[in-house]
Amino acid sequence: MLKTADNAQISQVGPGTPMGTYLRKFWMPVARSAAVRAGADPVRAKALGVPMVIYRLADGSLGCLDEQCPHRRASLALGFNSGTSLTCIYHGWEFGSGGRCVAVPTEPEQRRDRFREILPVNAHPVREAAGMIWVYLGDGDEPPFPDMDFMGLDETQCQAVVGVTRCGWVQCLEGLVDTAHLGQLHKTQFPGQDQVAYEAAPSIIVRDRPYGMRIYADRPRPGGGHYYRVTEYIAPFWCFVPQNDERAAFCIVPIDDTHCMQWVIWYNKEDPLDPTMPLGRHVAPLTRNPDDFTADMRGKDRWGQDRDTLGRDHFSGLNNLFFEDLAVQESQGAIMDRENEHLGSSDVGVVRLRKILRDAATKAVAEPAVIFNHPGENDLKSIRGAAFESEGDNPEEALAVAGRAV
């Protein structure tokens, strides 16, 4: 459990909050690359309570600005993308590549150049990688850009989709580090369920890492040996969850205190993505609405749960493992009441996650500030989830023997 004040510390992400201060030190994906087209309408985005517009000019260059025009605060989402600039329709001010102000037609001609030079514009550094558009909302120089396992793959081997989840970001992260629920919530459709079913109450071992934590779930096999699942948490946003022969990374980016983006990065470093594979069968339906895959669940009673199959033909009554997660996460409330929960032995990863976040938020606003997993501080390229069977009784040794290629 967490006291109300401690819960607020990890849940509140707006400007000036401890957690918001910490999260602003990192690059974060906020839109799919394909959604921001050259010369097309600006795309609205929001992260950490900051409304933004992202636009792409005809030459492919990007800009990211606070949604409100720095002049009279009209929405730049109403703006016109000419291909060379984004124009505010209220007074015709124009913004070019990188958000730089390039025209202020309502100023006298002799003052325009000087006025543009001194105009404070809330433009944010923006980059593109792995089919996503990333922004940096912090102050000062841009930090090093993260290099993770899926970086550098083309669209045939890496696909990113995002869902807008109507709850606080931490409960989505908690779901990712909670490996015990796989054998319950997902028992009808999780890839590798035969192995997960070896043990309903796996032994959970948590090891601190310089970038976050590694979680081992040990399920003894009936005939001897073990089925190990290894989940990696990279602070503050990322989890690499094992998917047997396939790979997936998950990124939870707060939109505000009570909404978040839930990114699913499905990738294969050896072969093209295959929608007939076990994980592919669950990701493929999300691509119908890749800019918000939760759209398929909206407006439906109980998140579209089929009550006729519930507990009989289908354990959860929800037809996609991602929708299963989303439904239970949103059902916990806009911000989960952690003071009235009752944790068990399977929740050690959840407990450790909360401590990591609380410590990181506290240190981010200390004097001097210390940023946990500071960008560029750790090599993240080789980090990924792993799932494998082994005769070894020590999960760390078994992982080393199996190799990080699993």
Report pLDDT for 123. 94
Structural domains in the chain, sorted by start: 27-136 (2.102.10.10), 158-402 (3.90.380.10)
Residues sharing a CB contact under 8 Å with residue 63, sequence separation 6 or more, in sequence order: 54, 55, 56, 57, 86, 95, 96, 97, 98, 99, 100, 123, 126
34's tokens:
């394909």
Which pLDDT score is estimated for 245? Answer: 67
- At residue 49, the pLDDT reads 98
When pLDDT is averaged across residues 159-165 and rounded to a whole number, the result is 97
Q: Could you tell me the two tokens for 94?
A: 């124009």
pLDDT of residue 405: 41
- Residue 372 CA to residue 295 CA, distance in Å, equals 35
Residue 166: is it exposed, middle or buried by C-beta count within 10 angstroms (0-12/13-18/19+)? middle
CB neighbourhood size of 270 (10 A): 7
Cα–Cα distance for residue pair 223/391, rounded to 1 Å? 10
pLDDT tens-place string over residues 302-325: 999 999 998 888 999 998 999 999
pLDDT at 118: 86
**pLDDT at residue 96 is higher than 80:** yes
Return the pLDDT at 311: 81
Q: What is the pLDDT of residues 190-219, one digit of tens each?
A: 766 778 877 888 999 999 999 999 999 999
Q: How many CA atoms lie within 13 A of 68 on its CB side?
A: 7
Q: What is the distance in angstroms between the CA of the first residue and the CA of the last residue of the chain? A: 35
What pLDDT is stored for residue 403 in this prediction?
A: 64
Residue 352 phi, psi (nearest 5): -65, -40
pLDDT value, residue 244: 64
Residue 400 vs residue 67, higher pLDDT: 67
Of 79-83, 192-196, 384-388, the one with minimum mean pLDDT is 192-196
Provide the pLDDT for residue 400.
84
